[in-house]
Chain A
């Protein structure tokens, strides 16, 4: 249980184009989804938190107009990197959280990640 998928797993795009990444919770309804960025040999950097049906909360320093997040349903959140540039190349990982029976509701279940390369 608690499976999260991401699509695509990797993408290469030209500078200036937009890229959309999907995050789905496959076997549970996620009340909250998180988007992270990870550089090689670095820890996870939280970009934003989103709850279904409401606007995402962005971390300080993350441009909300560049990284558009839509949490359309309890099982789907999307991250769109608009006008991507080479410095946006990174590993993007989503996670989903919900209150399971017996749990505290703060465990996060991660997707497999999406590797974005901007040429």
Chain B
């Protein structure tokens, strides 16, 4: 079983819809959770960073962590065509400059 599972999609939604993405993980030591957005032929960009269970909101983005279920989610409200990208979840067990465990990435297409 991979450490981090993420359905690669692709996921197509109409403009204005809510995009819901999620990852599950098996390592209960993971405490730090990140979501990255990657446009085609570009490096990933850090979108959200959380380290506790619950919700964190930043503009149209909400990151949700449920450590008891080993499940994290990213919601994008009022989706725009510019949100079309691949979204990767990543997680880490401890502080410091440690390697991240990445999901496969979920391709999202927002249709105008």
Q: Which of B35-56 contact A (CB under 8 A)?
A: 36, 41-46, 49, 51
Residue of B nearest to A30 (CB): B97
Q: What's the interface size class on B, roughly?
A: 20 to 34
Q: Which of A67-101 contact B (CB under 8 A)?
A: 91, 93, 95, 97-99
Looking at the complex, which one of A44, A106, A112, A115 makes contact with B98 (CB distance below 8 Å)?
Answer: A106
Kindly state whether residue B100 has any CB partner on chain A within 8 Å.
yes
Shortest CB-to-CB span from A96 to chain B, Å, is 9
Contact with B along A1-39 (1 / 0, CB 8 A): 010101000000000000000000000000110100000
Determine if A106 and B32 form an interchain contact, defined as CB atoms under 8 angstroms apart.
yes
- Is chain B's binding surface mostly helix, strand, loop or mixed? loop
Residues of chain A within 8 A (CB-CB) of B41 are 91, 113, 115
Residue of B nearest to A34 (CB): B99
Determine if A110 and B97 form an interchain contact, defined as CB atoms under 8 angstroms apart.
no
Ordered by A's residue number, 29 sampled pairs between the chains whose C-beta atoms are within 8 Å are A2-B46, A4-B43, A31-B97, A41-B107, A43-B88, A43-B104, A44-B44, A49-B97, A49-B99, A51-B97, A91-B41, A97-B97, A103-B49, A104-B92, A104-B96, A105-B97, A106-B94, A106-B95, A106-B96, A107-B46, A108-B46, A109-B46, A110-B36, A110-B43, A110-B44, A110-B46, A112-B42, A113-B41, A115-B41
10 additional contacts (CB under 8 A) given A34-B99, A110-B46, A113-B42:
A31-B97, A41-B8, A41-B107, A43-B102, A44-B88, A44-B102, A95-B43, A105-B96, A106-B92, A106-B100
